[in-house]
Amino acid sequence: MRRCGGERGVALMLVLWVVIVLAAIASGVVVAARRQAALVAALRARAAARYAAESGVTAATSALQALFRGARSPEDRARVFGYLDDAARSWGERPLGAARYQVAVADLGARIDLNSANPEVLRGLLQQFVDADRAATLVDALEDWKDEDDAPREQGAEAADYATAESPFRPSNGPLLRLEELTRIRGFDDSLAAALAPYVTVLGDGLVNVNTAPEPVLAAIPELGAPGAEFLVGARRRGEVWGSALATQQALRQAGRGRRVRETGLITMPERVLVVSRGWLDGTPLTHEVQAVLEISELYRPEGPTLRVVSWTERDR
């Protein structure tokens, strides 16, 4: 009898161990299934967000074409660039199945390009935020960051200087790819970078749109300075718009700045616009962002200008 009871006890223990093992396996299967489901959901959300963001760029391009088709005169076409961002905001959030997208459009000619602007223009902008000596130092540091050599300018800094200062960064020896890089350059702190952000870009072509650039951007151009910039912005507030280089030259002469428009780096219509499109799937936190730079050509075609993508970057946010 005792032996039989002992065998039943051993059998019971084996059954309990089997139950525990099976429960652990089942729990692992459930966890793995949940992880797999979460992964699939995340991939689905990302794919939907990306597709929505890309669709936003396509929709914005078509909308821009329509705006230009409705602008008949050079002045009307120039005015289009003045309300690009307002027009994009008026579109609001757009549904795309279970996803949504929202678009912003910026005239890159309204900003100074940090990669292609000459040192005089960069100093002209920086001197509106810091004193002249610091502005000169910052320009040298920026130029050293971008150039290909390792020889520092008089007030600049190359890799050896960053190493001496125990900085974690080194000059890229190439153009800035994102505005966030500015704070890696010696002398550019967060507060200065934030102050400059509304007036600079790294995606432009070095030309400034006289019809849309804010006063600090226009004032940075040596041939204009603060008086010329104030005159042009004041004229714009009174409804003036310049549809040709000749019209702008006449305006500059009135401002006492009798220089040719191209000599000052000014244009009346930009050659590049930036489209920022964000897409997301309803109910999910992930957002996908696309930044597309469109190059504008053949503005005077009846069917509207040619808009060609020359730069495309994207990221999850």
The predicted model scores a pTM of 0.81
Q: Per-residue pLDDT for 3 more than 60?
A: no
Assess if residue 148 is contained within a domain. yes
- Domain containing 68 equals 45-110+270-316
Could you tell me if 72 and 139 lie in one domain? no
Assess if residue 6 is contained within a domain. no
What's residue 1's pLDDT?
47
Q: What is the mean pLDDT of the chain?
A: 86
Task: Pick the range with the lowest mean pLDDT from 67-81, 140-154, 185-199.
Answer: 67-81
Q: What tokens does 122 get?
A: 């960069």
Could you tell me if 105 and 121 lie in one domain? no
pLDDT in tens, 32-54: 667 766 666 778 889 999 999 99
Q: Per-residue pLDDT for 270 more than 70?
A: yes
Could you tell me if 99 and 120 lie in one domain? no
Could you tell me if 238 and 277 lie in one domain? no
Could you tell me if 218 and 289 lie in one domain? no
Decide which of 263 and 79 is more confident.
79
Task: Pick the range with the lowest mean pLDDT from 136-140, 144-148, 248-252.
Answer: 248-252
Q: What tokens does 303 get?
A: 């069917």
What's residue 262's pLDDT?
60
Q: Per-residue pLDDT for 290 more than 60?
A: yes
Assess if residue 188 is contained within a domain. yes
Q: Per-residue pLDDT for 309 more than 90?
A: yes
Q: Per-residue pLDDT for 30 more than 70?
A: no
Could you tell me if 92 and 58 lie in one domain? yes
Tell me which residue of 149, 106, 141 sits closest to 123, measured CA to CA.
Answer: 141
Measured at the CA of 202, the angle between CA 198 and CA 204, to 5 degrees, comes to 90
Could you tell me if 129 and 190 lie in one domain? yes
Residues 6+ apart with CB under 8 A from 264: 221, 223, 224, 252, 257
What's residue 9's pLDDT?
67
Could you tell me if 122 and 77 lie in one domain? no
Question: Which CATH number fits the domain that encloses residue 83?
Answer: 3.30.1300.30
Alpha helices (runs of H) in 70-148, residue ranges in sequence order: 74-80, 84-91, 119-126, 132-146
What's residue 311's pLDDT?
92
List, as own/partner pairs, every contact residues 116-125 make where C-beta atoms lie below 8 angstroms and the sequence separation is at least 24, other chains included: 116/204, 116/205, 116/206, 117/206, 119/143, 120/222, 121/220, 121/221, 121/222, 121/265, 122/220, 124/219, 124/220, 124/221, 124/222, 124/225, 125/196, 125/199, 125/200, 125/216, 125/217, 125/219, 125/220
What's residue 300's pLDDT?
73
Q: How far apart are CA 94 and CA 71, in angstroms?
A: 25
Assess if residue 12 is contained within a domain. no
What's residue 31's pLDDT?
67
Question: Which CATH number fits the domain that encloses residue 126?
Answer: 1.10.40.60
Could you tell me if 217 and 189 lie in one domain? no
Q: Per-residue pLDDT for 250 more than 90?
A: no
Could you tell me if 144 and 128 lie in one domain? yes
Task: Pick the range with the lowest mean pLDDT from 27-36, 63-72, 272-281.
Answer: 27-36
Q: How many structural domains does the chain have?
A: 3
Q: What tokens does 296 get?
A: 């504008």
Stretch 196-211: mean pLDDT: 93
What's residue 5's pLDDT?
58
Tell me which residue of 212, 217, 147 sits closest to 185, measured CA to CA.
Answer: 147
Residues 6+ apart with CB under 8 A from 252: 223, 224, 228, 232, 258, 259, 261, 264
What's residue 4's pLDDT?
57
Could you tell me if 253 and 188 lie in one domain? no
Q: Per-residue pLDDT for 264 more than 90?
A: no
One-letter amino acid for residue 294 of the chain: L
Q: Per-residue pLDDT for 199 more than 80?
A: yes
Phi, psi of 4 (to 5 degrees): -65, -40
The CA-atom distances, in angstroms, between 291 and each of 62, 109, 314, 315 are 16, 16, 6, 9
Assess if residue 11 is contained within a domain. no
Q: How far apart are CA 176 and CA 146, in angstroms?
A: 7
Assess if residue 249 is contained within a domain. yes
Stretch 147-157: mean pLDDT: 93
Assess if residue 22 is contained within a domain. no
Could you tell me if 162 and 186 lie in one domain? yes
Task: Pick the range with the lowest mean pLDDT from 32-36, 123-127, 243-247, 275-279.
Answer: 32-36
